[in-house]
Amino acid sequence: MKFRKDVIFSENDIFTTKNIEIMKFLIYLVLLFIFSQQAVSQVIRKEFLLSDTINFEGLQAEFGQNKTIPKEFEKQILLALSFYAELRNTKIVFKVKNTLIPLASRPTFWSVFKRRKNRTYKVTISSKTIAFLTPILLKNLSYNAQIGVLGHEIAHIAEYINKNAWQIMGMGFGQLSGKYIDKFEYATDLRCIEHGLGYQLLAWSVQVREKLQVKEWKNVSAKSSSERYMNPETIEKYMKESEKYQ
């Protein structure tokens, strides 16, 4: 029997070969739209991989405004920033240099006295430090953990933007107290989890403990029972309690 197309598809039928092609194309466009939208929104993921197909141009356009980002950590920084919509227009300079502390964030000196929207913040990424801290330099961490610790640094900025000059100076003086730092860093980890980077922070927390061979961070102020940086179990506990992660 000879196959006759017009028997299956009458002229009035919407399922003509041509229409099917058009529909396929429309479905493709819809999928492409959904996919590109996903790339620029905060989607909680267990693991980000360097091989992921992510619309980095979209991330750059949406979260790269007023940011100075070194090429070598561009993807990680843009991904971490994409979880902080409130910092979309904030001026942040990420800088790689030889410095003891693996990572640090703060407003630039004169910024403290400027209007909040005119401030510039600086995230310093160490490229070289003492032997003990070398394994936890950003470049020596996994991609997922890099996003996590950058998320922690950016969480500091998300707090600074809401503080006035006096409060920021107070936070500076607070750094003289071990107990204050415990609270300050713990709250920053929590902010990072609440922004959706809990799994990445967890990857960092696990990796740092492995690399430094520390099982648990003991708080510096021995009298309190708080942790300075959250232990992996604590991060997991907060994720379990948060609706965001269900």
Binding site for Zn ion (CB under 5 A): 185, 188
Compute the least distance from the CB of residue 181 to Zn ion, in Å.
9
Compute the least distance from the CB of residue 35 to Zn ion, in Å.
34
CA 184 – CA 173 distance, rounded (Å): 12
CA 47 – CA 50 distance, rounded (Å): 10
The count of C-alpha atoms lying within 13 angstroms of the C-alpha of 113, restricted to the half-sphere facing its C-beta, is 2
The nearer residue to Zn ion, 60 or 179, going by C-beta atoms, is 179
Tokens of 133: 């801290």
The nearer residue to Zn ion, 54 or 145, going by C-beta atoms, is 145
The nearer residue to Zn ion, 182 or 185, going by C-beta atoms, is 185
Compute the least distance from the CB of residue 179 to Zn ion, in Å.
15
Helices 56-63 and 74-81 meet at what angle, rounded to 10? 60
The nearer residue to Zn ion, 39 or 192, going by C-beta atoms, is 192
Tokens of 104: 């640090």
Tokens of 80: 């971490």
Compute the least distance from the CB of residue 241 to Zn ion, in Å.
22
